[in-house]
Amino acid sequence: MGGERSSALAAALVMMVVAAATTAEAKVYHLTWSLPADSEFNVTYGDIVVFRFDAILLNLMKVDKWSFKYCKMHKATAIVIQKRTNQAPHVAVGPEILQPGSHYFVCGVTNLCDLGMKTQINVN
């Protein structure tokens, strides 16, 4: 009897911890996509990174680690503008793209990546 009660209590405690972990609100980070860019930052899975930039002059490309290091557009994926505001257009990059691990973003316009317009986002 005591063992069943302890097991039920432990199961209830686990459920409370899981519920608390899943209800934590995602943080939203705002990044102005310009020179100099933030070279690297860390987020937690579920967080959102909002890139703000002038879409007429700039773009946002997700690339592999090699392309990031050498500023080559090898296997680049364009990240599309999702919303325009009175200010700058922005792209919200969330969990659908930011899975746990390291992700690399560059500006694919002329030589801006070579000048430092690139960022690494590490997702824990």
pLDDT in tens, 82-124: 555 555 667 888 888 999 999 999 999 989 999 999 999 999 9
The backbone torsions φ and ψ at residue 21, rounded to the nearest 5 degrees and listed phi first, read -70, -35
E strand intervals along 23-123? 28-32, 40-43, 48-52, 61-63, 77-78, 90-93, 101-106, 118-123
Give the model's pLDDT for residue 11: 41
pTM of the model: 0.74
Pairing of strands 48-52, 28-32: parallel
Q: What is the DSSP letter of 119?
A: E
Greater confidence (14 vs 2) lies with 2
Assess whether pLDDT exceeds 80 at residue 19: no
Q: What is the pLDDT of residues 33-52, one digit of tens each?
A: 999 888 899 999 999 999 98
Is residue 16 scored above 60 in pLDDT? no
Percentage of residues in the chain with pLDDT exceeding 90? 44
Domains, the chain = 26-123 (2.60.40.420)
